[in-house]
Structure 1
Amino acid sequence: MRALLDVAGEAVGSIRAHGFRSILTTLGIVIGVAAVIAVVSVMSGLSRSITQKFSGLGGDSLTVRSHTPLELSMQGRRNRLSLRDYEFIVQHVDEIRDVSPMFMAVSDFGADVAVRGKKTFTRILATTEGYQDARQLFPRVGRFITGHDNRSRRRICVIGEKVRDALDLPNDPTGRFITIAGEPFLVVGVMEPRGEIFGFSQDDFVLIPFKTGLAIGDLAEPDVSITLKVDSLDRVEQAAERITALLRQLHRLKPGQANDFKVQTAEELNESFSEIVQMTGVVLAAMVSVSLLVGGIGIMNIMLVSVTERTREIGIAKALGATPARIMQQFLLEAALLSLAGGVVGVVLGYAIGLLVSSVLPGVGSAVVPWWAVGLSFAFATVVGLVFGLLPAAKAARMDPITALRHE
């Protein structure tokens, strides 16, 4: 133990004696670890933000929507959930409540919304009064769509914060008229802002009554998505199975044939998005971790130069009785300490970069550094230092002391 402490002291003394060279040696490790930590912290923050957004839906929520496989989409085909599907679900599934159907009105892509010369293109979503309870989203000012609005097909709307800003409307625009696809609509409320997710604004929309959307739209058959609540948590799976069986029967799907729709719980939706985020984070982290290998090569090169510069020092140490093993331990420990120091600085710098990126990009969420990422970064940095420090250490250990003492 005493011998190891002596070797460590000599390694630290050598590092301090060659400060500038030590900084250059660790620079590659610092950059590599900082890049990995920055990516992991931003992606972890995004994952937590997504979890918080879906947690508002509750465990008793179900979402039913159409699903078109990629190969069919490439052929220009698209599966849809029809009004008949929605009506059958409401009539035949007893476990559900707070049913909220929704579809893209006017067109599948959106429409122009204008007021006093200001114009923006946005999604026009037709829905019912159950939307705010099913999705746990409520107006910031004004009111939401009511059952009377829907039954009487009133030309009213609730707008998102981004639409309000794009049209240069006041903070409370209730009572003002805007035109949707050339038709006048009365603004009765503005929804609470939700920010962005994956770079897409969640506040860029206009909500209109469901039956109003059917009256003004040119769609032959709207693609309806449904959000609903189940009357108790222990009946969620039962409700999902009944909806699945009902839709398969309505769509005349044969046994073994894939569903052309999806029935998902809020937890499953959250898991799907989180899985995408995690996979993206892993790929990005793997890509930037290549810079750690570059840093390791830098350590090896500079340590080889260090061995050449310290040839006489090595010769003196061997002449005084230092064994090849002790010389090798010293150089390996130097490389490991330099890598570890680079790892510490890299973690701090990476977290700072992550905080900066998350503050600049809206909707990402605060950067979060998992402990496993910190531990893995330190371990990887140390291993890189040891592996790439092995060749210089072996070269120093094999050096002939007489030849070394003659070196100028």
Structure 2
Amino acid sequence: MGSFAWRNLLTRPLRTILALIGLSIPILGVMGLFSVSQGMRNLVGDTLSRVEGVMVLRENSPSPVFSDLEADLAVKLRGIPGVRVVAPEIWKVAPNIEGRTMFSKLMGGGGAKSILDQPVIQGQDIVAHQDLKSAVYPRAMKERNGEGRYLVPADKNKPNVVISKKLAKDYPTADGKLRKVGDTLQIGGRPFNVVGIYDTGSMLLDVVIVMDIDMARDLMGVSKDMVSSYYVETKESTENDEVSQAIEKALPQVDARSMSEFMANFGSMMGQIDKFLMMTVSLALLVGVVGIINTMLMSTTERFVEFGVLRTNGWSQGNILTLVTLESAYLGLLSGIVGCVLALVGTMVANQFVEGGVRLSIPAWLYVLGVTLSVVTGTLGGLYPAWRAARLVPMDAIRVGSH
């Protein structure tokens, strides 16, 4: 029965190919959407894994850029048990750099990428940050062959900055060369000296321009008695969640978020996105079901004589039902395999062009899901044509099919 079904598909190659295209494209869409989702999970997971401390923000602030806290809270934070270092920070969206603003980049056709690439100013209390054991950017300079040096206490109140290799590339010199250590960078119309260049490999971290906290206040118009957030390093990394709870209990006006909490919140958000993707996928698969139904209906209509002859030679209604259902299931299987191969090739090609640490990936379970969905879709699409073919009276089928 199975080999007979395969031969029936091969004897109608054009129709089989069209049906394959109709169902493999939705499967490709399924694989593509979820590979992007998986890539974002990997990117954020890798990024947050490098930040080992606790971020203290204004209550309900979505990020440090939108947070503001009193500078004297540092004293209270240092008095909380388990806290090792409290490092004040200023976080603001960068003003124009070399005369370019986010608006001008958007108008230039950058779109969403311009928003993700928007540089951010991070003003650091240099002395406090030097005491951190797990500072992200100094570690990146050591581990990933950074250039120059990181900020030291001598840089306090001086226009010195540390930028990423990405920003050095995005904001070249007047003669089109990459910015290097020793060059100046115009930020908000002011010249800043580039003393170091780091590279984390993450598009979420490589947009930060690091400078002294007082220089950041002056550049961004922030009061001396305000900060955006505090980076708190605990005595033991295993104490992050406990210290976060203690901070929120002692200071009700703040949110203290460990990276595990950030990951949980991001996972919840991605879960909602995955639900939306499943709705989109369901619509695509519905189109695939309709395509299979149409293909199999046309196929069975053309084969009335064949079914009539088979019935007169002893085939039962169940045999006809099984034959047509097998054909549609095989179509689904082939479509699933084609869709998976196209998705694999697509991700390999896309990864050659995607930058910023985003790597599209297709886990093994997604291949299994793609093929399974395709087979189920093909089978469902063939049920009605199979039922219709099985109900034919043998002589009526021969008579109708011969006209």
Query: Which TM bucket (shorter chain)?
Result: 0.7 to 0.9
* Structural mapping, 1:59-138, within 5 Å: 61-68=53-60, 80-90=68-78, 92-104=79-91, 108-114=92-98, 122-129=119-126, 130=129, 133-138=133-138
The amino acid across from 1:141 in the alignment is E
Report deviation, 1:113: 4.0
Cα separation, partners in 2 of 1:360 and 1:176, compared to 1, 3 Å: closer
- Pairwise CA distance, 1:171: 5.3
Q: For 1:102, give the aligned amino acid.
A: E
Indicate how the Cα distance of structure 1 residues 98 and 141 shifts in structure 2: closer, same or farther if over 3 A, else same: farther
For residues 368-394 of structure 1, the C-alpha deviation after alignment (integer angstroms, 9 at most, x for no partner) is 222332222222222222222111111
Query: Cα–Cα, structure 1 residues 80 and 398, in superposed 2: closer, same or farther, change >3 Å?
Result: same
Contact persistence 1:45–1:367 (CA under 8 A): yes
- The residue number in structure 2 matching 1:35 is 29
Where does structure 1 lack aligned partners over 5 or more consecutive residues? 1-6, 71-77, 252-260
The answer to whether the 8 Å contact 2:120/2:209 transfers is yes
Q: Which runs of 5+ in 2 are unaligned?
A: 103-118
2:74 and 2:86 in contact (8 A); partners too? no
- For 1:227 and 1:233, the matched residues in 2 are separated by 13
Distance 2:314 2:18 in 1: 32
Report the counterpart of residue 156 of structure 1 in structure 2: 160
Which of 13, 22, 28 is equivalent to 2:7? 13
SS of equivalent to 2:226: coil
- CA displacement, residues 315-361 of structure 1 (integer Å, 9 cap, x when unaligned): 11111111111111111111111111111111111222233334333
Q: Check the 8 A contact 2:67/2:228 in 1, yes or no.
A: no
Residue 394, structure 1, aligned to residue 387, structure 2: yes
Equivalent residue for 1:238?
242
Q: Which residue of 2 aligns with 1:362?
A: 355
- Residue 192 (structure 1) aligned with residue 179 (structure 2): no
- Give the AA of the match of 1:100: A
Q: 1:165 to 1:371 in 2, by over 3 A?
A: closer
Indicate the percent of aligned positions where both proteins have the same amino acid.
23
Cα separation, 1, equivalents of 2:147 and 2:185: 17
Q: Measured at CA, do residues 322 and 300 of structure 1 come closer, stay the same or move farther in structure 2, by a change above 3 Å?
A: same
* Kept in 2: contact 1:43–1:278 (CA 8 A): no
Q: Is the 8 A contact 2:90 2:217 kept in 1?
A: no
State the 1:128 CA deviation: 2.8
**In structure 1, what residue type is equivalent to 2:197?**
V
Q: What is the deviation of 1:215?
A: 5.1
SS at match of 2:360: coil
Give 1:399 deviation, angstroms.
Answer: 0.8
Alpha-carbon distance between aligned partners in 2 of 1:309 and 1:214, rounded to the nearest angstrom: 78
Preserved CA contact (<8 Å) 2:165 2:197: yes
CA contact (8 A) 2:161 2:193 kept: yes
* Aligned-pair CA distance for 1:37: 0.6
For the Cα contact (< 8 Å) 2:202–2:357, is it kept in 1? no
Q: 223, 226, 236: which is aligned to 1:222?
A: 226
CA RMSD of aligned residues (A): 2.7
Instruction: Return the offset for 1:313.
Output: 0.8
| 1:100–1:134 Cα contact (<8 Å) kept | no
Contact 2:54 2:232 (8 Å CA) reproduced = yes
Counterparts of 1:346 and 1:167, CA distance in 2: 40
Distance 1:219 1:299, change over 3 A: same
2:133 is the alignment partner of 1:146: no
Q: In structure 2, what residue type is equivalent to 1:84?
A: D
Deviations 1:17-64 (A, max 9, x none): 112211222222101111101111122122112212222224xx2111
Asked if 2 retains the 8 angstrom alpha-carbon contact of 1:65 and 1:226, the reply is yes
1-structure distance, mates of 2:317, 2:169: 73
C-alpha contact 1:177 1:187 (8 A) present in aligned 2: yes
1:163-174 equivalent positions in 2, closer than 5 A: 163-169=167-173, 173-174=180-181
Tell me if structure 1 keeps the 8 A contact 2:332–2:374: yes
